[in-house]
Every structure is written in structure tokens, then in C-alpha cells.
Amino acid sequence: MRMDNGRIILHIDMNSYFASVEQQANPFLRGKPIGITGKNQERSVVATASIEAKKLGVKTAMSTWEAKKICPSIILWPGDPEKYADIMHRFNAIYRSFTEHVEEFSVDESFLDLTEEAQDYLGATCMAQAIRERVSEACGPHITASIGIAPNRLMAKLASESVKPNGLTVVRPHEVLNLLDQSDLEDLCGIGHGIREHLSQLGIESFQQLREFPLERLMEEFHGYGLWLHEAAWGREVVQEPSHTSEPAKSYGHSYTLPFNTNDPVVLKRYLLGLADKVAWRLRRDGVAARRISAHVRFADFSGHGEQRTSIEPITDGLRLFKIAWQILAPFLQHAPVRLVGLTASLISSDPKRTSLFKKEQHMQSVLSSLDLLQHRYGSGIWKRASTLPVEFKSRSSGFRFDHEL
């Protein structure tokens, strides 16, 4: 567990990212409600709605027919992942030119720890403006971002989401409670619909009420997550993977529904590696190792394939998980475009040799270094580009409910 002592965190989030890139490329889409979809628009979802479409009620991950019903004038546009990846590469390089402490949170969202570089909130604000200018120069003026600056990631994200599009919201430590009291519970990354309902049953409808609710009772209701909620209500971030139960998990798994159906091995490798890293991180966080790996895919035609392998040696390494999973899946990928990939690690044993990376707060480092390793192994080319990009995981709590912890 880590508390934020005088840190300055910047959260930057591209506004309607895929849609904005298309509006940058094609001036005839500007100012119009557009929805970015998969190749097969009939049974696709809106991966990103333009700012104009959002104003008319279209939401991310809405089915295309629902979007059309709500907004008949919507222009459905097939997504171009290569283009989004190229642009993403540009803004991530800009972030890294400001600080080495960049955490890529999702495809179009990053956290920058500016504590050292900015020194104070004025400095951070100036940096935010400089970042925004450079992004605009490198990507085009129609690709905009919302920025929040606050003492931790949780509050920075809440701040950036409070003004969209193109907002810059600075929340200093003494303003944090104010921001919370102006926000709904569900605005906070980490309070999803289920938790919101649970809180409501306890009579908690606001952050103020959550703050005043006895911690012991929260812990009874939410176990370890109770502390996280309590601290969040005070504007503090307990750095801990949200988990509903304190019992040791018997298996660790993730599945991911792709934003676009594909059987491009490069794309699938990238997602699978992302899943493997997530699972590996959870194993290391809990100080355990796994000996059985199962991987599965679901195809666009709703068929699927899955198998498992058992290893003699306990595994905690994302790259090894990935390689085993890829061996399982690779022969079956030509069957049909894939719409979901999943990976589960089981036969769990404790792994006392390893120090918990969670305690050392270096989980991101490990994810990045294994990505780097893979990059070296596969050499340059598209894989290198792809593996340095953040895998497009939207957090379950960000509203893009494609990622499922198993």
C-alpha cells in the first residue's frame, strides 16, 4: 500500500480518440456525429463516438443499431487501427519527453508523474499546456485531450473527466474534497455500477456520506476494497488492484473482447501479451506462481477454441505465459476472425522466492521490461511498433466494459 505524499500526477485522456483522428483526417466528418465501428458494421459496436454523437446520446460500446436508433444522422465509420496506433505512438513519445514516469493506462489515456519535473502545481500547469501544444502540432488540432492534475492518479483522472473536451483541471491537495463532493460516486474510476448499488443499499449516495461511513463496516461489506473506498472518499489513493475478496484466488485469468474482429496474428499477439502481462502481474502481486495455463478464443461466428497446458516449472513471467498461450492458439486462428481472447493461470502455489513487485510498486516497470524483451526477440517491424504501444485495455471501471477479470 502506498499513500501519495506530495506527488503531482497528470492524467491525460484523448477526447473521443478514434473519432477525433478520423475528423482530423477527413474534414467532412468534423462537427458531425460519427461512430467508429468494426469492419462488419451490422453486428458491431460503436468503439468511439465523436463528441457530437455523445451529445446526442450515443455511448461507447453501444451496438450500431441502437446508436442509429438514438441518432439517425450518425455516420458509422469503419475503424483504422493502424492509423490510431501511429498517432498514439506520437503522443506517447511527447509524454516521455516530459518525464520518464509515464504509465500508459489505456489506448488513449496516460498518467504522468510530474513530481520531480514540475516541482509545483504552477509548473505542472505550464507543462500541461506545453504538452497540449506539442500534441496538437504533432497530431493535428482536431485531436484534443482533457487533462487533470492532482495529488494522485485517482483524483487526476476524476479531475480530467470533469471538463470535456479539451479541459485542463488542476486540483491541489486542499481542493480534493471539493472535487469529490461535486462528483457522483460512479464518476470515480473504481466505483462501477455494482459497487455503486452496494453503497446505495448502505445508504451511501455521495462521497461525503462515504467519508463519514465507519471504516470497519465498509471493510465488512467490501473486504479489502472497503479501505480503498474509504481512502478514495478522502481523496487518497490506495495503490492496490481492486479485489472483492481477501481469500487467495485459485486461478487468475483475463479475457478481452477485441474492439475489432481480426485474425491478424500481430494484433492477436499484442492482445494476448497484454493479457499475459496482466495475469502475471496479479500472480506476482500475490506472491504466487502458476503451473497450468489455459488459453481460449471466441470467433466472430460464436464458435471457439480452448486448451490447457501444464508446466513442471511454476511460472510468474508474462512472456512465458504468453508463449504457452500462443502455442495453444496459433494453429486455430485461421478458422475465423477472432472477437475475444482469454488466458487463465491455475495450479497456484506460493512463490516465496519472489519479492512482491506490488510492494515495490514496480509492476508497471515489469510490464514494460517484458514488452521490451519481446520487442528484442521479435526484432523490428510491426511487432516492435505494436509491442511498444499500450495494449488497448480499457479498465472495467472506465465504462468500456470489454475487459473481464475471470
Partner 1 sequence: MHELLNDPIDVIVSFKDNRVLPHAMRWNERDYKIDNVNLVHSAREGTKRVFYFSVSDAANYFKLKLDPELLEWRLVELYADG
Active-site residue numbers? Answer: 109
What would you report as the CA-atom Rg of the chain, rounded to the nearest whole angstrom?
21
Q: Is 25 helix (H, G, I), strand (E, B) or coil?
A: helix
Interaction of residue 21 with partner 1, rule CB under 8 A? yes
Give the one residue of 40, 65, 69, 82 binding partner 1; rule: CB under 8 A: 82
Q: Are strands 338-350 and 288-299 parallel, antiparallel or unpaired?
A: antiparallel
Rounded Cα–Cα distance for residues 400 and 402 (Å) = 6
| 27 lies in the binding site for partner 1 (CB under 8 A) | yes
Q: In whole angstroms, what is the distance from residue 396 CA to residue 189 CA?
A: 9
Determine the size of the site formed for Mg ion (CB under 5 A): 4
Cβ count near 101 (within 10 Å): 18
Q: Cβ distance 155 to 172 under 8 Å?
A: no
* Binding at 26: pick from partner 1, Mg ion, none (beta carbon under 5-8 Å per type): partner 1
CB atoms under 10 Å from CB of 354, counted, come to 14
Site string for partner 1, 103-142 (x = CB under 8 A): -------------------------------------x--
Whether the CB-CB separation of 53 and 35 falls below 8 Å is answered with yes
Chosen from Mg ion, partner 1, none, partner binding at 25 (C-beta under 5 to 8 Å by type): partner 1
**83 in contact with partner 1 (CB under 8 A):** yes
What residues from 80 to 119 belong to the interface with Mg ion (CB under 5 A)?
Answer: 108
Select from 4, 8, 12, 13 the one that contacts Mg ion (CB under 5 A).
Answer: 13
Span interacting with partner 1, options 80-88, 191-199, 246-254, 348-356, rule CB under 8 A: 80-88
State how far the Cα of 161 lies from the Cα of 84, in Å rounded to an integer: 21
CA distances from 376 to 59, 206, 369, 380, 388 (A): 39, 49, 11, 8, 11
The single residue among 6, 28, 72, 247 that binds partner 1, judged by CB under 8 A, is: 28
Q: How far is the CB of 158 from Mg ion (least distance, A)?
A: 14
**Angle 70-71-72 (CA atoms, 0-180°, nearest 5)?**
115
- Between residue 85 and residue 104, which ones bind partner 1 under the rule CB under 8 A? 86-87
Catalog residues that contact partner 1 under the rule CB under 8 A.
Answer: 21, 24-29, 77, 82-83, 86-87, 140, 381-382, 385
Sites of contact with Mg ion (CB under 5 A): 13-14, 17, 108
